[in-house]
Amino acid sequence: MNIVVFQQRGSGEHKIEGVRKFGKGLTVSKIVNIDSFLPDFIDDPEDYIDSDLEADLVLNFLQHPDLLDCLVRLCSEKKIPVVSPGKKCEGFTPFTCCGLGRDTRLGIYGEQFGFPEYEVRLQGKETIAEIRVLRGAPCGATWEALQEYVGCRVEDVLTRLPRQVQYFCSADPSGFDPVSGKSPVHYAGYVHIAALKKAIAEAVD
C-alpha cells in the first residue's frame, strides 16, 4: 500500500516512524514537508501541493487551513482516502490517530492502525502472561507502552497503562475538546485502557 504524508515542520514524523516500524505491507513513498513561513491567507495553495498526487492513502498533518482544504479537495477529486487526525474537514477525521475506526476504504493501513485492539493471555486470572497488539496507534504508543507488563498483575496494568500510553503519545495535550473536556492525550489513554479491558474480559471467558 502506497502512502503519501503531508506535514508542516515535521508534525507527522512520529507517526511516520511508527508506521514504518510497526506496519506491514505499507510503504511511505513520499513525505511532503512544508517548512517555509506561511501567511495567514494563502491565495494559491496549489503552489505547495502538487496536483499530480498519486497514492493509495494520504496521511494529512497539515495545519494551515488553506493548505488543508486544498489537499482534501484534491484527494476527493482523485478518490484517494485521506486521514486528517484532529481536523474538521472531509475524509477521515478521528480525534486522535488512535481514534480511527475501521473502514474498508483504508485498506491494510486501517486494519493495522486506529482504535487499539489487543489479544491477551492470562496466567490464572490475575497475571498477564502475554499481550499481543492486533491494531494500534501509528505513533507506536500501543506497542511501546506494553514492554514492561508481561508478568504483572492485571490490576496493576490497568492502573499504569493509561499513564504509560500518554507518555509515548505524540498528540498535543493542550488541544482540549470543548464537548468532552478531554485532551487528545487523555483520549489516547482512555481508548487504550478500554481496549485492554475488553481483551482481558475475552481472555477470562
CATH code of the domain made up of 2-93: 3.40.50
Q: With contact defined as beta carbons under 8 Å apart, do 143 and 22 qualify? A: yes
- Highest mean pLDDT range out of 27-31, 142-146, 149-153? 27-31
Average pLDDT over residues 134-147: 89
The conformational region for residue 87 under phi > 0 = left, psi -120 to 50 = alpha, else beta, is beta
- The x, y and z cell numbers of residue 171, run together, are 498528540
Q: Please give the pLDDT value at position 169.
A: 79
Average pLDDT over every residue of 33-48: 93
Looking at residue 124, its pLDDT comes to 85
- Indicate whether 67 pLDDT > 60: yes
Mean pLDDT value of segment 142-169: 85
Given a cut of 80, whether residue 79 has pLDDT beyond it is yes
121: nearest Cα among 107, 111, 131: 131
Q: What does the domain layout of the chain look like in residue ranges?
A: 2-93, 117-204
- Rounded to two decimals, the pTM is 0.90
Confidence of residue 6 (pLDDT cuts 50, 70, 90): very high
Residue 129 CA to residue 45 CA, distance in Å, equals 52
Q: What is the pLDDT of residue 150?
A: 84
Average pLDDT, the chain: 90
Is residue 175 over pLDDT 80? no
Residue 179 pLDDT more than 80?
no
- The three-class DSSP label of residue 112 is helix
Identify the top-confidence range among 75-79, 123-127, 141-145, 172-176: 75-79
DSSP reduced 3-state for 6: strand
What H or E segment, with its residue span, contains residue 29?
strand 27-34
Which one is predicted more confidently, 169 or 25? 25
Q: What is the pLDDT of residue 47?
A: 93
